[in-house]
């Protein structure tokens, strides 16, 4: 399933059994849960019920998961994969499982990636869309049902903005705000008004105001730029939030509210946050994954507790994770493989804190796995710059009013000439095809943190609507 997550975390899609996270100062990678296919990246197949660091590298920028495989990008734009590879979903030109991260090719221009049920989709910095892995239902969007073990471009267009995967269907939004879908469609999850499968992208209606989208097992949720929430597809557990269990084959608004901020799509249930920081849930609740202190399913959104400090959220198949604004990490739902990170296998029907650590900024979840980033909000580092040098990262606009702010704390800045080197926070605007400065400060030495704060306004945030990923960088001028 794929959904919408905040800050450094990117659309998650339907992984099984594993969890991954990124840590403080410089982003380190962690994992826990089921590891029968090596999906934890720990060079073995032993399950974990608490976080364990993957290697010693500190340049990870983003993580997500597929069925039993994990995908990650680094700050240099490279793409990495590990875990189950039965259908070539790792993109390594074979079908051999990996138990530690392996780079996919040699390119350094990967922007975002999403993992589906044994398949993967990704977008490059030039806006091109790529896919590989299982294709039995045409979910790769290549006009056929041929499985692939390496990335292949979907068409020739370069205007793709974001992508999300369900179990067997794929969804993507273009830079013009149009929504496209393809793959399995028996339940109408493609939103095309029928149940006919598609093996290549087809536009969902004619509207141009789609902001973010997420795919569940056989259903889809999306938010528009006006903050309204929409759903379609299978509704057997009330996961569409329409106060019934009737399926839809075209988008239908969920209620009349326009204050929805982000969506997180699980197996047969969903989570969402509003602009006031509240958390809501609906759909299947067999394992307490709605966080409502019971196991009763809901067919319309219901608030989880009364708190207004939820930051990033993730919906796995039958479990959920979330961070709060104080940096703490919380989990609830099924815990059969230790995927809640609570050092046991006891299920929870309400949010429970994962350890005592803070600094968690974003999370993602799969069928039985969890993903998260721990560290500075857009943690990065630039070290010993003798020439122009930068660290890149991804950022997501979370404000439905088309303005938002980026906070970056950097360490390891050059101390060769601390008073004569300027450090810039920049955002890439594909409309003008260039980097734009939104804040700057002077380098103050290798061990002194620099905090950059930029307000994203006007054309940049309008162009990158709520929920889309933006390429950013911290840039240090020549000294």
Question: What pLDDT, on a 0 to 100 scale, did the predictor assign at position 249?
Answer: 98
What CATH number did the domain enclosing 59 receive? 2.130.10.30
Strand order in the sheet with 169-174: 160-165, 169-174, 179-183, 198-203
237 and 215 share a domain? Answer: yes
The answer on pLDDT for 93 being more than 90 is yes
- The alpha carbon of residue 81 and the mean position of all alpha carbons in its chain are separated, in whole angstroms, by 15
Q: Are 384 and 370 in the same domain?
A: no
From the list 81, 79, 74, 82, the residue with the least C-alpha distance to 107 is 79
Q: Using alpha carbons, select from 155, 74, 195, 216 the residue that is nearest to residue 231.
A: 216
What's the pLDDT tens digit per position in 392-407?
A: 555 544 443 444 455 5
> Which of the four pLDDT bands, split at 50, 70 and 90, describes residue 453?
low
State the pLDDT confidence band at 206, using cuts at 50, 70 and 90.
very high
Tell if the pTM clears 0.75, that is, is over it.
yes
Alpha helices by DSSP H, 167-211: none
State the average pLDDT over residues 226-240. Answer: 97
Percent of the chain at pLDDT exceeding 90: 51
pLDDT at 80: 94
pLDDT computed for residue 416 by the predictor: 36
pLDDT at 23 over 90: no
Residue 346 included in any domain: yes
Same-domain status, 287 and 426: no
Task: Give counts: helices (H), strands (E), the chain.
Answer: 1, 36
Note whether 343 and 404 are same-domain residues.
no
Tokens of 183: 């793959």
The structure tokens listed for 453 are 């704060």
The lowest-confidence range among 36-45, 259-268, 322-331 is: 322-331
Q: Which of 73, 59, 71 is nearest to 25 (CA)?
A: 59
**For the purposes of burial, counting CB atoms within 10 Å of the CB of 369, is it exposed (0-12), middle (13-18) or buried (19 or more)?**
buried
pLDDT of 171 over the 90 cut: yes
Between residues 473 and 213, the one the model is more confident about: 213
In this prediction, residue 431 carries a pLDDT of 57
Which SS3 state, helix, strand or coil, does residue 25 take? coil
CB 85 within 8 A of CB 68: no
User: Tens digit of pLDDT for each residue in 52-70?
Assistant: 888 887 777 778 888 788 8
Distances (CA, A) of 65 to 230, 328, 402, 444: 24, 22, 28, 38
Q: Residue 172: beta bridge partners?
A: 163, 180
Nearest to 166 by CA among 144, 152, 186: 186
Residue that finishes a domain, picked among 318, 349, 374 = 374
CB-based contacts of 310, cutoff 8 Å, min separation 6: 273, 277, 278, 279, 322, 323, 324, 325
Report the largest interatomic distance among the alpha carbons of the chain, rounded to a whole angstrom.
Answer: 66
Tokens of 138: 């045409």
Note whether residue 13 is domain-resident: no
Q: Are residues 335 and 245 in the same domain?
A: yes
Tell me the β-bridge partners of 119: 133
Average pLDDT of the chain?
80
5 occurs within a structural domain: no
Average pLDDT estimate for 231-252:
98
Domain presence at residue 191: yes
Among 329, 364, 353, 258, CA closest to 15: 364
Same domain, 54 and 126: yes
List C-alpha distances in Å: 403 to 180, 377, 400: 25, 18, 8
pLDDT at 303 over 90: yes
Is residue 80 within 8 A of residue 69, CB to CB? The reply is no
Domain range for 425 is: 380-476
Residue 197 lies in a domain: yes
Whole-angstrom Cα distance, residue 271 to residue 286? 15
- Please report whether residue 7 resides in a domain: no
**pLDDT confidence bin for 363, thresholds 50/70/90:** confident
Least confident range from 252-261, 299-308, 453-462: namely: 453-462
Same domain, 349 and 406: no
363 & 385 share domain: no
Q: 423 and 353 share a domain?
A: no
Among 351, 374, 397, the domain-final residue is 374
Residue 40 binned pLDDT confidence (cut-offs 50, 70, 90): confident
**Which three-class secondary structure state does DSSP give residue 102?**
strand
- pLDDT tens, 369-378? 887 777 643 3
120 and 94 inside one domain: yes
Does the residue 2 lie in any domain? no
**Facing residues of 408 across strands?**
452
On whether residue 109 sits in a domain, the answer given is yes
Cβ neighbours for 316, distance < 8 A, ≥ 6 positions apart: 1, 266, 267, 289, 333, 339, 365, 366, 367, 368, 369, 370
Strand partners, 133: 119, 148
Which of 10-24, 184-198, 328-342, 436-450 is the most confident on average?
A: 184-198
Question: What value does the mean pLDDT take over residues 251-256?
Answer: 98
pLDDT for 418 equals 42
Tell me the C-alpha distance between 94 and 90, whole Å: 8
The average pLDDT across 149-156 equals 98
- Count of domains for the chain: 2
Min mean pLDDT across 1-15, 283-297, 370-384 is at 1-15
Nearest-angstrom CA–CA distance, 62 and 412: 21
- pLDDT-derived band at 88 (thresholds 50, 70, 90) equals very high
39-43, 92-96, 160-164: which is most confident = 92-96
For the record, the structure tokens of 121 come out as 């989709």
Beta strands 389-396 and 380-381, pairing class: unpaired
Identify whether residues 228 and 79 lie together within a single domain: yes
**Residue 248: per-residue pLDDT:** 98
Residue 335: is it exposed, middle or buried by C-beta count within 10 angstroms (0-12/13-18/19+)? buried
Q: Based on the domain organization, do 270 and 321 belong to the same domain? A: yes
The mean pLDDT of 351-375, rounded to a whole number, is 79
- Show the tokens assigned to 81: 């994969």
Contact 202, 190 (CB under 8 A): yes
CB-based contact 357:2 (threshold 8 Å): no
Choose the final residue of a domain: 321, 351, 374.
Answer: 374
Give the model's pLDDT for residue 455.
Answer: 56
Which residue did the predictor score with more confidence, 58 or 356? 356
């Amino acid at each position: 399933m794929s959904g919408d997550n905040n800050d450094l975390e990117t659309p998650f899609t339907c992984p099984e059994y594993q969890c991954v996270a990124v840590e403080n100062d410089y982003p380190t990678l962690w994992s826990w849960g089921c590891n029968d296919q090596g999906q934890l990246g720990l060079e073995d197949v032993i399950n974990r019920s608490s976080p364990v660091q993957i290697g010693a590298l500190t340049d990870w920028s983003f993580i997500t998961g597929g069925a039993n495989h994990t995908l990650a990008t680094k700050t240099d734009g490279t793409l990495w994969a590990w875990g189950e590879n039965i259908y070539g979903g790792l993109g390594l030109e074979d079908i051999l499982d990996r138990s530690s991260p392996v780079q996919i090719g040699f390119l350094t221009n990967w922007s975002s990636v999403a993992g589906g049920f044994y398949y993967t989709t990704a977008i490059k910095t030039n806006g091109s869309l790529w896919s590989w892995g299982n294709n039995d239902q045409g979910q790769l969007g290549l006009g056929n049902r041929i499985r692939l073990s390496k990335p292949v471009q979907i068409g020739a267009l370069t205007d793709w903005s974001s992508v999300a995967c369900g179990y067997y269907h794929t969804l993507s939004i273009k830079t013009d705000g149009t929504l496209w879908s393809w793959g399995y469609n028996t339940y109408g999850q493609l939103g095309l008004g029928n149940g006919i499968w598609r093996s290549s992208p087809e536009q969902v209606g004619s509207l141009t105001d789609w902001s973010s989208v997420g795919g569940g097992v056989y259903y889809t949720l999306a938010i528009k730029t006006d903050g309204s929430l929409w759903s379609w597809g299978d509704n057997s557990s009330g996961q569409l939030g329409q106060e019934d269990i009737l399926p839809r084959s075209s988008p239908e608004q969920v209620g009349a509210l326009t204050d929805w901020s982000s969506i997180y799509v699980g197996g047969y249930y969903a989570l969402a946050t509003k602009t006031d920081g509240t958390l809501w849930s609906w759909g299947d609740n067999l394992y307490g994954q709605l966080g409502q202190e019971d196991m009763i399913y809901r067919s319309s959104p219901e608030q989880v507790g009364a708190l207004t400090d939820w930051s990033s959220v993730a919906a796995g198949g039958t479990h959920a994770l979330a961070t709060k604004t104080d940096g703490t990490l919380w989990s609830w739902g099924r815990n059969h493989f230790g995927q809640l990170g609570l050092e046991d296998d006891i299920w929870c029907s309400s949010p429970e804190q994962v350890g005592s650590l803070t600094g968690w900024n974003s999370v993602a979840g799969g069928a039985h796995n969890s993903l998260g980033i721990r560290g500075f909000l857009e943690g990065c580092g630039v070290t010993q710059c003798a020439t122009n040098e930068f660290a890149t990262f991804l950022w997501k606009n979370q404000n439905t009013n088309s303005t938002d702010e980026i906070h970056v704390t950097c360490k390891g800045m050059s101390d060769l000439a601390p008073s004569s080197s300027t450090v810039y926070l920049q955002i890439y605007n594909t409309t003008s095809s260039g980097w734009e400065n939104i804040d700057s400060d002077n380098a103050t030495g290798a061990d002194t943190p620099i905090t950059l704060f930029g307000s994203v306004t006007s054309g940049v945030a309008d162009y990158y609507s709520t929920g889309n990923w933006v390429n950013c960088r911290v840039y240090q001028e020549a000294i």
